[in-house]
A and B are shown apart, each in its own frame.
Chain A
Amino acid sequence: MPGPALVSVVLERLEINRESVLVIRNGTIVPADERLEDDDVIEIRPVISGGAFEDRAGREARRLLDDRSGRGGGVADQ
């Protein structure tokens, strides 16, 4: 991706939600208004973890989502 560009702009172009990642350059976090240069190498690190959640509401909601998306009642529990 060509620079210079603000971190926030890079994330927008990549359609990445800024709440779900950290942008790291040379081991240091860079804020959204930081300008990235053409030769900067950055890591866009996801911060969202799934974890081992387990509750009936989640199972049912997942089933609803699957139903709605036409995936045919793919219930999380086998």
Chain B
Amino acid sequence: MKCVVCKGSAVIDVRRANANFCSEHFSKFCRDQTVRAIHEFQMAEPGDRLLVAVSGGKDSLAIWDILVGLGYEAEGLYVGLGIGEYSDNSGGYARRFADERGLKLIEVDLQGEYGYDIPTGSKAARRTPCSACGTSKRHIFDKAALDGGYDVLVTGHNLDDEAAVLFGNVLRWQTEYLARQMPVLPARNGFPKKVKPLVRLSERETAAYCIINGIDYVVDECPMSAGNRHLGYKDALNDIEVQSPGSKNEFYNGFLKRASQLFRDSVGATSEGSGDFLGRCERCGSPSETELCAFCRLVDRATGSPNESGGPTQPVTLLKRSEISRSDDRPPGGRTEVH
């Protein structure tokens, strides 16, 4: 098998591109696909300060490596979730990656900062671990990006991740979710700009990028994600992909090009999910449609503090975007809500 570019020995076949690559040209393929996504969706400008949410896994370390290689000022953020040996290992991979390259890695420890970890906190809050984890990470990512003055928050979501989410949303025709499923979300109402530059690369390709470029990553899956529903979607899509290479890319990128605008038009600015009409969490100042934001409610339930009962909170007066400034008059503690 020969590299389609240099005719040297290929190490990987990328059937969806009808191409085989040697190590050097596969790495270039990955960088090119990332650059294309960044430009196509105006994810970042030269000179932007990027904060990369890093888990120690293949995707986040690959995108961090690619962005630094492209010349971006990109720093990392690792959240210690307290998931036993898995968290110990994943944190180690993130730290080693940063140390070996002289990159800055910000660390936030959930137990140390907020008094709970995912295994015990999710149980106490009667939430699934993935739900509690997602709420916690979104809050911490948003807060770190805004507090640190970063222009863009980067996550390592790849083509398989996005195609699986799209598949799930299409199965149930969740039009509001479909309207919001974009690889870039602009900064608004106390949320940082969020981007997913790996949407043109499959996770087989990000894993290969790491191995080829000597990036050690945590291979083990999070033990708490066992049975995650999206794994089933990924399997289904890969069954299609193996029969018809390029299907995942056509499905997701075809949606972005030809369908997503239709859902955005139909949902419109009246949607709560648009984020144009949000109040603020009375404790942490995050955008929220209730007195306490989802994260503060989770903290209370997970730690048994003030609103332990976890009962419904009162809706707050919703404000137009123009009425909400990004000033510093809110209490410390960050801001959140699903973005």
Residues of A within 8 A of B (CB): 17-22, 24, 27-34, 45-62, 65, 76-78
Contacts and interface: CB of A to CB of B under 8 A. Distances in A.
Given A57-B168, A58-B233, A61-B233, 16 more contacts: A19-B241, A20-B234, A22-B12, A31-B10, A47-B207, A48-B160, A48-B234, A50-B231, A51-B230, A54-B130, A54-B131, A54-B134, A54-B135, A55-B177, A56-B177, A77-B128
B253 interface: no
Contacts of A51: 157, 161, 225, 228, 230
Interface string B1-44: 10000000011110000001000000000000000000000000
Q: Is the interface of B mostly helix, strand, loop or mixed?
A: helix
Given A47-B203, A53-B230, A55-B168, A29 B11 contact: yes
A72 to B, nearest CB: 15
B229 A45 contact: no
A20 B208 contact: no
Contacts, number: 131
Contacts of A20: 204, 234-235, 238
Contacts of B11: 28-31
B182 to A, nearest CB: 14
Contacts of A77: 127-128, 131
Interface string B192-230: 000000000011101110011000000101100111111
A78 B222 CA distance: 19
B228 to A, nearest CB: 4
B133 interface: yes
A55 B242 contact: no
B211 A19 contact: no
Kindly list the 3 A-B residue pairs having the minimum CB-CB distance in the complex, ordered from nearest: A50-B225, A62-B229, A50-B228
Given A45-B207, A50-B228, A77-B131, A19 B174 contact: no
B203 A57 contact: no
19 contacts: A17-B239, A20-B234, A22-B211, A31-B10, A47-B204, A51-B225, A52-B130, A52-B133, A52-B225, A53-B228, A54-B130, A54-B135, A57-B168, A57-B169, A61-B171, A61-B229, A65-B232, A76-B128, A76-B130
Contact of A34 (B1, B219, B221, B235): B1
Nearest to A66: B229
A60 B225 CA distance: 17
B163 to A, nearest CB: 12
A59 B230 CA distance: 10
Contacts of B133: 52
A58 B242 CA distance: 23
B215 to A, nearest CB: 13
Given A19-B238, A65-B229, A31 B127 contact: no
A32 B20 CA distance: 10
Contacts of B137: 52
A59 B229 contact: yes
Interface in B132-184: 133-135, 137, 157, 160-161, 164-165, 168-169, 171-172, 174, 177
A16 B161 CA distance: 20
B211 A60 contact: no
A32 B14 CA distance: 10
